[in-house]
A = this chain, B = another copy of it.
Amino acid sequence: MVIVVKAGGRVLAGNLDGLLDDIARLARGGGKLVFVHGGGDMVSEYTRRMGLEPRILVHPSGLRSRYTGPEELEVYIMVMAGLLNKRITAGLIARGVQALGVSGVDLGLLRAERKKRIIIVNERGRKQAIPGGYTGRITGVDGRALGRLLREASVVTLSPLALGMEGELLNVDGDQAASKTAAALKASSLVLLSDVPGVILDDRVLDRIPSAEEARRIAGLVGKGMNRKLLMAAEALENGVGRVVIANGLAENPVESALQGGGTLVEEEPRQ
């Protein structure tokens, strides 16, 4: 049974040691985990240190994303597949875990289709199509190869990079990478950690969402970051993942706590 955990940059910045302690405990107890990490804030920081100004795009949905030109892609690869991936992996090994750090490029684990054009809202508030840069939509995950790596390692630390159709390296969304990876591995659990306690609706954290269909419905009612997580959760459930938990990565023992009912559990309830 495999657990896939995704944690964004704010969780890494605010609770890296707590998170690694927790992942290490699960791994030492015999668990097999894939840890997909984000790190957007750190990419922005290093982009600035390299003398580039990060370009943030506003989409018609209100979602914001980073524009990845060729220079931004270099920084993205360096920070994600280099600094963050190796620090996390070394931190797990120091905790007695057989950890292996890879990116979606390695063994062609993640394949993606480059976004040709992106529709954005420009500074005058008008919709505009711009070239997509080095950003991709994941089209395939090699679950077999990942499964074989999990025979050699208890934890595979996976950076959200993918190989494009022409062999180019692409930036892919971490939540999407985690969801598609969990589906390819038929993971028992997918845990999506961010800096909020779960799915919040009418000022209340939802304990439970009883179906993928319901997750899609609620996705239309929440903010844009959580919207994406809910759509990814629904897709994971529909593709054979046992359950998805959306939880607070800044909590104590964040993964264990999510698996034991903290946060919002998205799971198909048996029909009566």
Does B93 lie within 8 Å of A100, measured CB to CB? no
- Binary CB contact string for chain A from 89 to 113 against chain B (1 if under 8 A, 0 otherwise): 1110110001111110111100000
Does A90 lie within 8 Å of B153, measured CB to CB? no
Residues of B close to A3: CB separation below 8 A: none
Size of interface on A: residues with Cβ below 8 Å to B:
41
Of the residues B51, B82, B108, contact of A83 by C-beta under 8 Å: B82
Residues of B close to A152: CB separation below 8 A: 107, 145, 148-149, 152
Is A214 on the interface with B (CB-CB < 8 A)?
A: no
Least CB distance, A183 to chain B, in whole angstroms:
21
Cβ contacts A to B, 9 pairs, < 8 Å? A50-B50, A78-B83, A79-B82, A81-B82, A86-B105, A99-B106, A101-B105, A102-B102, A152-B152
Residues of A within 8 A of B (CB): 46, 49-51, 74, 77-83, 85-87, 89-91, 93-94, 98-103, 105-108, 145, 148-149, 152-153, 161, 163, 166-169
